Amino acid sequence: MGGVVPLGYRVDNRKLVIDETEAQTVRHLFARYLTLKSVRDLVDEAASDGLSTRSRQRKDGSVAVIMPFGRGNLYHLLSNPIYVGKIRHKDQVYDGEHEPIVTSATFEEAQALLASQAPRRRSQSNVTQPHLLTGLLFDEAGEKLRSVHANKQGVRYRYYVSKQFVDERRKGSEGWRLPAPALESVVEHRLNRILSDQSQLSDWIRQWAEAGEVQSAIRRAEELRACWASGTADAKRSMLQKIVRKITLKPGSLTIELDRRSLSELVLDRTLPPNDGAQVASIECPIGMKRRGVETRIVLTDGSNSSREPDGALIDLLRRAHLYLHQLTDGAIRSLTDVAMLNGTDTSEVSRLLPFAFLAPKIAANIIAGDQPVELTAHRLSRLSDLPLAWTDQAALLGF
């Protein structure tokens, strides 16, 4: 019915059919997990064996890797009842019409092992996303920033913090304390621009590219962009660790040192011969900041405190939400299906975007003016599954 086809299957006439090549990978991962008894060890072994979340066959018969396995997608794969012929919908599991890839005994053994290794959590609010930039982020003095969490009224927040804040328990006011989603969104936005800049990519890879390889590398970059948008945090962090050498934070700017050779290997999909020359591209991203409260808390803007540009994708999302609401309430007695057909989309998009027609007027006005937090992107907003009704709760959730 749409969405990402699970590894091990392909779609044939709207049915899931086993792809035997990928199914062998799935069975191998289940078997090795039960032997290794560690998802972390399985990640390392899968990377060593060259296994990927999904691969494609080239015309010459070789295999092009799309994205390496990370802990997140391995946990998802090992716990997905799709592989024993079941379908999960919300909190329920139903019998599917597709064939299983692993036996029920293997699957149940894997679930028992996963459950025994799961960390004990006090509440749902204790569940948190990993930091994408751990180990890569440095301040202007060359000190590595720490990845920390904070709990406020049952809600977990992620930060990148200067060493002295951790060691001295916030004594003094010098140093960095950055909200992780805001900082990560700057890096993700820049990476997206790098992968979509065909001219720049062509210049970078030309010294290694063979005749006719540049266009296929550009297509590969587009595939990586698509994988990034739907990838897990672990897969994203794995890619950043491969292509980014260092990220340096200074007042007013953030500099990404990109490993051109590693990026070229990724888009050319092959190991490159050694080269003694410097292969680092320094990319500077202007950012605006302001202090908030007595602590050195930094709020990232887009780098130009006074000249924000409205986000066209965000504004278009609000426009569609209000259009769908108008078409449902203008007296024409349309259903969700009718509205979807009228706009050339599907009912799931109409249902997903409708709540954003009820954003607080002040929030909507800020978005139209381009005055929203930098981490509030169209992608993030469209993925919210439960928008609060109260305007104050909306503002807190969205960072206003």
Count of Cβ atoms closer than 10 Å to residue 55 Cβ: 18
Cβ atoms 301, 374 nearer than 8 A:
yes
Question: What residues pair up with 92 in beta bridges, in sequence order?
Answer: 89
Place of tokens 């050694």: 274
Within 8 A by CB and 6+ apart from 25, the residues are 7, 8, 51
Cβ atoms 144, 247 nearer than 8 A:
no
Residues 76 and 103 in one domain: yes
Residues 209 and 73 in one domain: no
Residues 256 and 349 in one domain: no
- Which pLDDT value is given to residue 296? 41
Place of tokens 């807190």: 396
Residue (of 229, 271, 251, 304) closest to 141 by Cα position: 251
- Which pLDDT value is given to residue 302? 46
Residues 30 and 90 in one domain: yes
Residues 233 and 162 in one domain: yes
Helix (H, G, I), strand (E, B) or coil at 174: coil
From 307, 326, 357, the end of a domain falls on 307
Residues 154 and 52 in one domain: no
Number of domains in the chain: 3
Helix (H, G, I), strand (E, B) or coil at 147: strand
CA distance 293 to 291: 7
From 80, 95, 117, the end of a domain falls on 117
DSSP assigned state of 357: G
- Is residue 81 situated within a structural domain? yes
Q: Which domain holds residue 99?
A: 9-117
What's the pLDDT tens digit per position in 50-82?
A: 787 765 555 555 545 556 677 777 888 898 999
Query: How remote is the C-alpha of 187 from its chain's centroid?
Result: 12
- Is residue 4 situated within a structural domain? no
From 57, 86, 117, the end of a domain falls on 117
- Which pLDDT value is given to residue 321? 92
Residues 86 and 165 in one domain: no
Residue 203 sits at the vertex; the CA angle it makes with 198 and 208, to the nearest 5 degrees, is 115
Residue (of 276, 282, 286) closest to 259 by Cα position: 282
- Which pLDDT value is given to residue 318? 92
How many C-alpha atoms does 356 have within 13 Å on its Cβ side?
26
CA distance 27 to 50: 16
Six token digits for residue 129: 């996303």
Using 50 as the pLDDT threshold, list the residues of the chain that sit under it. Answer: 63, 120-127, 170, 292-299, 302-307
